[in-house]
Structure 1
Amino acid sequence: MQKILIPTDFSENAWNAINYAMQLFRNKKCTFYLLNTYTPVIPSSRFMAKMIDGVSIVDAVRNSSEQGLLKTVERIKSKYGNIGHTFETISSFNLLVEEVKDIVDAYDINLVITGTKGSSGIDEVFMGSNTVRIIKNSKKCPVLAIPQHFDFVTPTEIAFATDFNRFYTTSELKPLLELAEMFQATIRIVHVQYGIKALSELQQFNLNMLRRYLNNAEHYVHTVSELNSVSQTLEMFTEELDIHLLALLNYQHSYMEKMTREPIVKRTAFHTQIPLLVIPELGMEGVSKNIEEQENAITG
């Protein structure tokens, strides 16, 4: 994880995510790409002002974006002064989600870190609409969502929620394993079931392979019964075991997909009180690796 993208709107929520990132990677050499997107209203009527003090509205918003990014970098360097960290700023006239996708591709980004306000009422969307859209559209890069008021805690307890219905690839597990190695963390594999029952043969095989991948990390398996929703169950689990970070794989029919589809009233129970690492499913290139790994696992 050496190239890290952090979108910012210059809010305290975004600054909190930056703080978390600086402390999480304090002992790693990294390049941080700070992104601010802007979409100023383009005047379409002669009654709307096109200029402010002789400066076009678009230019004014662009200048504000660029200056905000420079001030943010200065603030980071003033507080942390980490010689192993370098910074690039990107100011873009674009929609946030589209720009994030473009930057991930263009700069070969390893991780996106974003702040999230979480759910504060029935009308709020799970984790904040921008965060959810970034997660749903991130097909190549993990996303780490940092709650608005979360103070950094060294992640020595990491939960990995999964249902064992799918084979895991080393590429997908790499972000989880890297974090565990960085902080000598314990990984708690949590399986949420609607009614406790024995694993199927496929699930047991996938669990065995997962444990083989995690062989060098201290890990435990926890099976818990689903409460009102997957999100609420995971919230209770993370609270009871004092988990510092929750990791999920995001693929069709996964917990992550289910959580973003749960009715809003149920979703509000999950306030993302701890950082959430969402790892995307591999694309077609990953599928061939997936099959090859599975064949090697069976024959080996």
Structure 2
Amino acid sequence: MKKILIPIDFTLNSFQTIDYVLDLFKDEACDFYILNTYTYNTNSLDAIQMLQVDDDWFEQPKQQSIRQLGTLVERYTLNLKYVNHRFYAVSECLSLLDAIKKCINTLSIDLIILTSKKENNIGKKTKNIVDKIRSCPVLLVPPHASACKKNNLTIASDFKEKINPLEINKFLNILENTNLQITILVLGKQNTLSANASDNLETILKSMQPLLRGPIQLHYAGTFYKLKDYARAHLDGIMCIVDKKPDVFRKIGLFHSNIFSTLKQLRANTVLTIHQ
């Protein structure tokens, strides 16, 4: 069984994300873990007021989260769209990032699903998760996304650095029974690729081909700036971008990943982010 984690906030967008993911993985046996997190707002309470707070004050957010999750899981279970899908509720009194880390460790999660926003800017929580979760691929789903009968995954890179195929192959294994077309979009011109970039491209092609039913399509975008045009023309597919291994300045918080400037160009697309 593939284990997929879907954090939700009970908004319409998060429900649309669940429906999209179910259709995307319709041919796969999956356990879907629906995660909701809650915290206590203690900012307005002083020390004496905190001592006077009764148990009901602490229980209310917890019970509300559990109740809403229970209703949602029951609805998807009773109205089961695909018989190979199972649903579980996870309620945590943690920050979203810490709750996701806990689920990855305790449930052996294969893929994280996040609902992206309509706005140009990437949400702070989303940015934090993409930046800090490096042991599991993350799929960002925009509002109103819809799965096609023939799914396409486009891996976009300049291949100047070697791509670790582990997370890509992990995603391909989740879709092992799905008719998935793979496209490699090289952000450069074919006749100007360095020997190192050509070797890195060849390595990733050899790694993925045994996992696929059909051939891999290879396209050259010419420049990085053509990525946005390609993405706009392929809104029904999944774009895959690679987050480079963080250097010491990223680790201490002085800089953020360059992946976020790329994500802004792909905000209307479903995007798979993988990590070096």
Shorter-chain TM-score: which interval? 0.7 to 0.9
Aligned with residue 219 of structure 1, among 204, 216, 220: 216
Q: Distance in 1 between matches of 2:231 and 2:96?
A: 30
The residue aligned with 1:116 is 116
- TM-score normalised by the chain length of structure 2: 0.83
2:5 aligned counterpart, secondary structure:
strand
Q: Distance in 2 between matches of 1:131 and 1:247?
A: 16
2:89 aligned counterpart, secondary structure:
strand
Gaps of 5+ in 2: 247-255
Aligned with residue 238 of structure 1, among 220, 231, 235: 231
Q: Distance in 2 between matches of 1:84 and 1:276?
A: 25
1:3 aligned counterpart, secondary structure:
strand
5 Å-filtered alignment, 1:248-263, equals 248-252=241-245, 257-260=257-260, 262=261
User: What is the one-letter code of the residue matched to 2:73?
Assistant: V
The residue aligned with 1:285 is none
Change (3 A) 1:89 1:248: same
Choose 39-48 or 210-219, whichever is displaced more.
39-48
Q: Distance in 2 between matches of 1:249 and 1:267?
A: 11
- Deviation track 1:203-243 (CA, whole Å, cap 9, x = no partner) reads 111112222223344222222244xxx5x643310222455
> Residue 140 of structure 2 contacts residue 270 of structure 2 at CA under 8 Å; is this kept in 1?
yes
Q: Distance in 1 between matches of 2:160 and 2:266?
A: 26
Change (3 A) 1:21 1:241: closer
- Deviation track 1:146-194 (CA, whole Å, cap 9, x = no partner) reads 102213334522211112123344423313533665333222211224x
Q: How many pairs are equivalent?
A: 263
User: What is the one-letter code of the residue matched to 1:133?
Assistant: N
User: What is the one-letter code of the residue matched to 1:198?
Assistant: T
Change (3 A) 1:132 1:182: farther
- Deviation track 1:245-287 (CA, whole Å, cap 9, x = no partner) reads 111222238xx93231x3xxx975x252221111222xxxxxx
The residue aligned with 1:272 is 267
Q: CA deviation at 1:100?
A: 0.4
**Identity between Structure 1 and Structure 2 (%):** 23
1:204 aligned counterpart, secondary structure:
helix
Change (3 A) 1:118 1:76: same
- CA RMSD across the alignment: 2.9
Q: CA deviation at 1:81?
A: 4.6
Aligned with residue 207 of structure 1, among 201, 210, 214: 201
User: What is the one-letter code of the residue matched to 2:70?
Assistant: L
The residue aligned with 1:198 is 192
The residue aligned with 1:295 is none
User: What is the one-letter code of the residue matched to 2:98?
Assistant: E
Q: Distance in 2 between matches of 1:162 and 1:271?
A: 14
1:139 aligned counterpart, secondary structure:
coil
- TM-score normalised by the chain length of structure 1: 0.77
1:183 aligned counterpart, secondary structure:
coil
Q: CA deviation at 1:64?
A: 0.5
Choose 70-79 or 133-142, whichever is displaced more.
70-79
Q: CA deviation at 1:142?
A: 0.6
Q: Distance in 2 between matches of 1:267 and 1:244?
A: 15
2:19 aligned counterpart, secondary structure:
helix
Q: Distance in 1 between matches of 2:151 and 2:106?
A: 33
The residue aligned with 2:252 is none
Q: Distance in 1 between matches of 2:52 and 2:215?
A: 61
Gaps of 5+ in 1: 282-300
Q: Distance in 2 between matches of 1:271 and 1:57?
A: 42
1:158 aligned counterpart, secondary structure:
strand
Q: Distance in 2 between matches of 1:233 and 1:50?
A: 60
The residue aligned with 1:183 is 178
Change (3 A) 1:272 1:74: same
The residue aligned with 1:297 is none
Q: CA deviation at 1:20?
A: 1.5
Change (3 A) 1:154 1:57: farther
Change (3 A) 1:84 1:180: closer
User: What is the one-letter code of the residue matched to 2:106?
Assistant: A
User: What is the one-letter code of the residue matched to 1:88?
Assistant: Y
The residue aligned with 1:291 is none
2:258 aligned counterpart, secondary structure:
helix
Answering whether residue 145 of structure 2 is matched by residue 144 of structure 1, we say no
5 Å-filtered alignment, 1:63-82, equals 63-82=63-82
